[in-house]
Amino acid sequence: MSKDNTRAYNKKSVADIDVKGKKVLLRCDFNVPVDKETGKIRDEGRIVAALPTINYLLDNGAAVIACSHFGRPKGEFKPEFSLCDVADCLSKHLNRPVKMSKDVIGDDAMTLSQNIKPGEIMLLENTRFHPEEEKNDPEFAKKLASMADIFVSDAFGSVHRAHASTEGVSRFLPAVSGFLLNEELKYIGGAISDPKRPLVAILGGAKVSDKLAVISNLLKIADTVIIGGGMAYTFFKAEGGKIGNSLCEDEQLSSVLKCKAEAKERGVKLLLPVDSVAGAEFSNDVDPVVVDSGAIEDGMMAMDIGPAAIGEFVNEIKDAGTIVWNGPMGVFEFSKFAEGTRCIASAVANSNAISVIGGGDSAAAVRKFGVADKITHISTGGGASLEFMEGKALPGIVCLLDA
Ligand code: AMP
C-alpha cells in the first residue's frame, strides 16, 4: 500500500498553540446557501459549524479576524455577494458584536484589524472580491497575513484549492487547523490511512468520470467497493450488458474495465447492483419495474438499485469496521426511486462501523432519511472530501504546521 494513497495528515491544531493576546486570521467556510429570490441565508449550518473554533479563540484571549469567500463575484466588489448578513447571523449566534469591514485588505480592514482587542471578532469582506484570491497572489496573501499573528484554517470545503486565504497566507504566518478541519483530518484521514477493517467503500452518483480517481484509490485501500447509482451502468455496458436508456459514459468503458481488473488483481470485492428499478422516463410519474441490471430493455432507464442488490449491499455493510460513502444509489429525489439510497443510509447508520460520509448528495440523503445523527462523521466539503479520498495532497492542509 503506497503511503501517498493513504494520506493521513498529522497537523497542529489550534488547541496545540498559545493564542492568548494573539490576532488570529481565521479562514472559515461562510459560503452559505441563500434564497434565490430574497437573498436571505437559507441554511445557517456552516456558520453554526464555525462556532466551536471561534468561541475557543475568543475565550482564550485571541482577537479573531475571520474571512471567507462567498459565491462567485468574479473578482469584483458586488453588494449581493457581501458577507454583511453572515456577520449579523454570526453575531446572533455568538451573542456579541461582529465588526464587519467594508473591504478585504483596504483601509477599513487594516484600521479595524489594528484596533481589534482580545476577545473581539471582526469579519473581512468576501475574499473573492479580489481576483488575486483565486490566483493565490503572494502580495494579496501577504497583506491578508499582515493583519494577524497566526493563521487558523477551518474551511475544509476549500482546502483542495490553493487560494490566497486557504494556502497563500501560510507562507507568512504560522498556520494550524481549527476544530472543524481537525475532525475531517481525523475521520477521513483515519478511514483511508488506518481503517478498522473490513473497510467498505460505497460509491454512487450520476457520473462515473467524477468518481474514477476515488474508485481507483479506494481499490488500493478498501476490502470491498460497492458501486451503485447511475455510474454503475457504464460497468454493465462495458461487460457487454444491455442497459436501455440508463446513464452511461461511453468514453469511460475501458477505464471501468480497468477498475474491474484491478479489483480482481488486488483481491478486492467489487460489487455492482445485480438488479435495478427502472422506469420509462426520467420522472417520478412512471411505473417502477425491477429488472436485471445487465438486461435492461430499450426505452427503460435504471434509476435505483433493486431489492436483491439492496440485500447484498446491506449484508456487506453490516459487518464493516469502517464505511466511507460518497454518492446516492439512485435518483433519491424521486420517491419511487429512493428506496435503495434509504436502505443503504439506514444500514450505514445502524452498523457498528466508523461511518464517514462525503459531503454533497450522500450527506443530503442521510439527513433526508433522518439518520444523520447515527453517522460518525459527515464531511462539510463535497469536492474536498472526494479529493481527500483520492489520496491527493490538499494544498490547504499540506501548508499547515506538522504536529
Ligand atoms: P453525483 O453528483 O455524481 O454524486 O450525482 C448525484 C446525482 O446522481 C443525484 O442527483 C441523483 O439523482 C443522481 N443519480 C443517482 N443515480 C442515478 C441514476 N441511476 N440515474 C440518473 N441519475 C442518478
Q: What is the DSSP string of 56-87?
A: HHHHTT-EEEEE---S--TTS--GGG-SHHHH
The three cell numbers of residue 95 are 451573542
**361 in ligand 1 pocket by Cβ < 6 Å?**
yes
Cα 140 to averaged position of ligand 1 atoms, centre (Å): 39
**330 in ligand 1 pocket by Cβ < 6 Å?**
yes
**Any idea what DSSP says for residue 6?**
G
* pLDDT of res. 45: 87
* pLDDT of res. 8: 79
Is 46 assigned a catalytic role?
yes
* pLDDT of res. 36: 87
Atom of ligand 1 nearest to the CA of 229: 16
Q: Whose CA is nearest to atom 18 of ligand 1?
A: 230
Q: Whose CA is nearest to atom 11 of ligand 1?
A: 331
**205 in ligand 1 pocket by Cβ < 6 Å?**
yes
* pLDDT of res. 4: 56
- Looking up cell 480482481, which residue turns up? 264
Sign of CA dihedral 218, 219, 223, 225: positive
Question: pLDDT per residue over 296-346, tens digit each?
Answer: 999 999 999 999 999 999 999 999 999 999 999 999 999 999 999 999 999
pLDDT above 50: residue 3: no
| Residues facing 226 on adjacent strands | 202, 271
- Ordered alpha helix ranges (H), 249-378: 253-266, 307-318, 339-350, 361-368
160 Cα distance to chain centroid: 10
- State the pLDDT confidence band at 382, using cuts at 50, 70 and 90: confident
Cα 263 to averaged position of ligand 1 atoms, centre (Å): 24
Q: Measured between alpha carbons, how far is 135 from 251 in angstroms, rounded to an integer?
A: 32
Helix axes 307-318, 339-350, angle to 10 degrees: 10
Q: Whose CA is nearest to atom 12 of ligand 1?
A: 331
Q: Measured between alpha carbons, how far is 203 from 184 in angstroms, rounded to an integer?
A: 19
Q: Which residues of 167-185 are buried (b: 16+ CB within 10 A; e: fewer)?
A: bbbbebbebbbbbbbbbbb
- State the pLDDT confidence band at 214, using cuts at 50, 70 and 90: very high
Q: Measured between alpha carbons, how far is 17 from 68 in angstroms, rounded to an integer?
A: 23
* pLDDT of res. 2: 40
Amino acid at 91: S
Is 360 assigned a catalytic role?
yes
Q: Whose CA is nearest to atom 15 of ligand 1?
A: 330
Atom of ligand 1 nearest to the CA of 247: 20
Once rounded to an integer, what is the mean pLDDT over residues 106-135?
Answer: 98
Percent of the residues in the chain that have a pLDDT greater than 90, as a whole number? 93
Cα 332 to averaged position of ligand 1 atoms, centre (Å): 8
CB-facing half-sphere around the CA of 333: CA atoms within 13 A = 6
148: enclosing H helix or E strand: none
**207 in ligand 1 pocket by Cβ < 6 Å?**
yes
pLDDT above 90: residue 1: no
Q: Whose CA is nearest to atom 4 of ligand 1?
A: 205
**381 in ligand 1 pocket by Cβ < 6 Å?**
no
**Residue from 227, 235, 331 whose mutation best tests the ligand 1 pocket (most atoms within 8 A of CB):** 331
Question: pLDDT per residue over 95-115, tens digit each?
Answer: 999 999 999 999 999 999 999
Is 294 assigned a catalytic role?
no
**331 in ligand 1 pocket by Cβ < 6 Å?**
yes
Catalytic residue (one of 22, 46, 161, 211): 46
Q: Measured between alpha carbons, how far is 351 from 374 in angstroms, rounded to an integer?
A: 9
Give the end-to-end CA distance of the chain in Å, rounded to a whole number.
24
- State the pLDDT confidence band at 149, using cuts at 50, 70 and 90: very high
pLDDT above 70: residue 5: no
Q: Which of 263, 186, 173, 251 is nearest to 218 (CA)?
A: 263
- State the pLDDT confidence band at 359, using cuts at 50, 70 and 90: confident
| Residues facing 355 on adjacent strands | 323
Catalytic residue (one of 171, 207, 242, 260): 207
**279 in ligand 1 pocket by Cβ < 6 Å?**
no
In the predicted model, what is the mean pLDDT of the chain?
A: 96
Q: pLDDT higher for 244 or 42?
A: 244
Question: pLDDT per residue over 271-294, tens digit each?
Answer: 999 999 999 999 999 999 999 999
* pLDDT of res. 61: 98
287: enclosing H helix or E strand: none
Q: Measured between alpha carbons, how far is 203 from 232 in angstroms, rounded to an integer?
A: 9
Is 260 assigned a catalytic role?
no
Inter-residue contact 397 to 157 (CB < 8 Å): no
Percent of the residues in the chain that have a pLDDT greater than 70, as a whole number? 99
Once rounded to an integer, what is the mean pLDDT over residues 184-211?
Answer: 96
Distances (CA, A) of 116 to 23, 88, 98, 322, 395: 8, 18, 11, 45, 29
Sequence-distant (6+) residues with CB within 8 A of 61 are 19, 20, 21, 118, 119
Atom of ligand 1 nearest to the CA of 233: 19
Q: Measured between alpha carbons, how far is 238 from 44 in angstroms, rounded to an integer?
A: 44
**333 in ligand 1 pocket by Cβ < 6 Å?**
yes
User: Helix or strand or coil: residue 118?
Assistant: coil
Cα 21 to averaged position of ligand 1 atoms, centre (Å): 49
